[in-house]
A and B are shown apart, each in its own frame.
Chain A
Amino acid sequence: MGNLIKIAFRNLYRQKRRTLLTIAIISVGVIAVLLFSALSGAFKNMMVGQITDSMLGHMQIHRKGYVSSLDNLPLDKTIDAKQMKKMGEILDRIPRVEAYSKRILMGGMLSNYMETTNIKVAGINPKDESIVTPLLTSRIKKGEMLKKGEILLPELVTKGMNLKVGQSIVLIVNNVDGSVNGQNLKVAGIVESVVGPTGKYGYIHIDDAVTVLRMDKPEFSEIAIRLNKISSLDKVTRQISLEIVEMKNKEGEPIFEVHSWKELSPFYNIAKMIDLMSLFINILLVAIVLISILNVMIMAVYERIKEIGTLTAIGTLPGKIRTMFLMEGLFLGFFGSVAGSIIGIILIIATKFAHITIAFGRNENILIDPAIPFDQMALITLVSTIVAVLASLQPAIKASHMDPIEALRYS
């Protein structure tokens, strides 16, 4: 084996230029994959973070059918106090759940005594909401987080009606039996809109929501949940889903359903697109490695026909000749991907220091923070090496099956 490695190495060294070129081609492919993965991954994380942390939370629980009629904000598809208590017990039992925020969503009219406009409002507990959607506070451009008797208004509404922080407004809503009710509220702050389902909502205190809707006991439209780690999203979604299907109506059908942000935000498709593009780039890399190694190894066999004939004639068994060529392919793939990984890391670190920022939604200057994907790097090196060996297989087998007489006659 040692001798085969030595011969493989020397043969690669003999064709220095070709070897370097092949290694360079594979490196460039690996660098491209690493950079793309790091940057697109960073972009994806940033995007998902923006969506989940500024309004959605990681997942939400609703009464069945609420999400599909979200545009109407139905007040009869709610989670009542008793059910909420049970739900709270379930959520408290799951350690991966960091916090949850109960919300009452409603549509209504906003009046400054001169003009009125449509508005959608979420009744929240400011403390819970700040944990579940930590970016909410940073969305407040003027003023501050609301207290009881106050309202956070979306930017677009305040612009249209020329509303200022501290001003008084009236919120008029229909309650569940259709009668109209209004409440005086002070503008606590102006909140920046974000792209997504509830991105242009105003916020009021949940107690005010209960009052204005004339609820005897609070009934909640949704529960937004935040996890300690978003990586456990699918697992926890499944777990919660399994637990809440146990809460059934008289017909024995589950009353509630849970949705992760993926099902609630259109941005999930963009995230999926990014993953798909990553996959394509990876396939491209495999193709690059495959073609360049195959090409080089076919040449290597072709130009060493006489040598192969000699080795076979003096009794070298086919397996050893095959191994000799496979080694060459293996080294090319391995060194190419290792070189690419090293340069890739350096470039990723460089982009970290370059402080690349982008605008997303209405937020500008969001820092892209590319992570060095170590496990991915190891995987790329492994896959490239395996692909390189596979690409060498056909030429290597051809070499090992060569008829020594024909090979020796070759000139």
Chain B
Amino acid sequence: MNKIVELKNISKIYRAGEVDVPALKDITVDINKGTFVSFIGPSGSGKTTLLNLIGALDTPTSGILKVDGAETGRLSTKKRAIFRGENIGFIFQDFNLISVLTVYENVEYPLLMVKETPREERVKIVNALLEKTGMLDQKAKYPSQLSGGQKQRVAVARALTTSPRIVLADEPTANLDHDTAFMVISLMKKMRDESGVTFIFSTHDPKIVGVVDIIHTLEDGIIMKSEEVTHG
């Protein structure tokens, strides 16, 4: 299997005033294409920091970071924005849908504003994703009219519209109850199965990791263990 994410001796140090806060300490890990990967660990262990690095939102303090072959840490802010638009889909803990746009328009947004796509194609892509995420009948609603689980389903659809190489989800289920959380994770898994996109998500809830391929456990900025889960 080929690697889509490579982290070699990655460190990330935040400067908080006078003190340095080491959030990631010499992390080396690879993620293979098409896998369904989870980072778990307690609060403050560095999950968000790691995902921000993989998502080209942030740059490492030291080490080599390659995402789909590109050393995103060396790109300018603008180049990283373009890189994200082309290669990464994001799902957020707080759903982060655009409140003034309808369900349909939220999913359509990246195709209009980030990866300009002709209208016909747009309609096809958006409707197909809404269908797959089970949100087609809600497409005229605004985010405020949806439940948490529905919002996160829309967010999953939005993350996939531009056919990204990787979808990153930082604690996508933290604001959902257990059943809904499981439903969202299953949806993500289903989307992975259908599209072959690499899904990387973080959680500190060990109960919902049953469906993942690989679990990396983070603690204090270090990967304590990595286990492959055998399904069957």
- A residues with CB within 8 A of B: 3-4, 7, 10-11, 13-14, 306-307, 309-318, 320, 404-405, 408, 411
Contacts and interface: CB of A to CB of B under 8 A. Distances in A.
A14 B90 contact: no
A14 B99 contact: yes
Nearest to B112: A3
Interface in B30-74: 52, 55, 57-58
Nearest to A11: B100
Contacts of A315: 81-86, 88, 110, 114-115, 162
B94 interface: yes
Contact of A310 (B55, B82, B86, B98): B98
A408 B92 contact: yes
Contact of A314 (B58, B78, B90, B99): B90
A317 B100 CA distance: 19
| Residue with the greatest number of chain B CB neighbours at <10 A, chosen from A7, A306, A314, A405 | A314
A246 to B, nearest CB: 67
A405 B57 contact: yes
B113 interface: yes
| Residue with the greatest number of chain A CB neighbours at <10 A, chosen from B81, B101, B115 | B81
Contacts of B114: 314-316
Nearest to A316: B113
Contacts of B86: 315
Interface in B86-120: 86, 88-90, 92, 94, 96, 98-101, 109-110, 112-115
A405 B52 contact: yes
A314 B85 contact: yes
B52 A3 contact: no
| Residue with the greatest number of chain A CB neighbours at <10 A, chosen from B83, B88, B89, B90 | B90
28 contacts: A4-B113, A7-B98, A7-B101, A10-B101, A306-B96, A307-B99, A310-B92, A310-B96, A311-B113, A312-B81, A313-B55, A313-B84, A314-B84, A314-B85, A314-B89, A314-B109, A315-B81, A315-B84, A315-B86, A315-B88, A315-B115, A316-B114, A317-B85, A318-B78, A320-B113, A405-B52, A408-B96, A411-B94
B113 A3 contact: yes
A320 B85 CA distance: 13
B99 A317 contact: no
Contacts of B90: 310, 313-314
A189 B205 CA distance: 108
A310 B85 CA distance: 12
Contact of A317 (B58, B82, B110, B112): B82
- 6 closest Cβ pairs, A-B complex: A315-B85, A10-B100, A310-B96, A315-B114, A315-B84, A3-B112
A4 B110 CA distance: 12
A310 B158 CA distance: 12
A67 B162 CA distance: 83
A7 B102 CA distance: 11
Contacts of A14: 99-100
Contacts of A309: 96
Contacts of B115: 315
A314 B85 CA distance: 6
B168 to A, nearest CB: 9
Contacts of A310: 90, 92, 96, 98
Given A314-B90, A315-B86, A320-B113, 15 more contacts: A4-B113, A7-B100, A10-B100, A11-B100, A14-B99, A309-B96, A310-B98, A311-B113, A314-B85, A314-B158, A315-B81, A317-B78, A317-B81, A317-B82, A405-B58
A192 B25 CA distance: 99
A5 to B, nearest CB: 12
A316 B81 CA distance: 7
A312 B110 CA distance: 11
A10 B99 CA distance: 9
B81 A318 contact: yes
Nearest to B100: A10
B100 A316 contact: no
Contacts of B57: 313, 404-405
B123 to A, nearest CB: 14
A306 to B, nearest CB: 7
Nearest to B159: A314
A318 B99 CA distance: 20
A316 B101 contact: no
Nearest to B49: A405
B126 to A, nearest CB: 13
Contacts of A3: 109, 112-113
A405 B100 CA distance: 22
A310 B162 CA distance: 15
Nearest to B84: A315
Contact of B96 (A7, A307, A317, A320): A307
Contacts of B101: 7, 10
Contact of A306 (B82, B94, B110, B113): B94
Contacts of A405: 52, 57-58
Contacts of A312: 81
A301 to B, nearest CB: 15
A325 to B, nearest CB: 13
A316 B85 contact: yes
A158 B57 CA distance: 94
Nearest to B87: A315
Given A316-B114, A320-B113, A405-B52, A311 B98 contact: yes
A308 to B, nearest CB: 10
A11 B99 CA distance: 9
Nearest to A306: B96
A234 B158 CA distance: 66
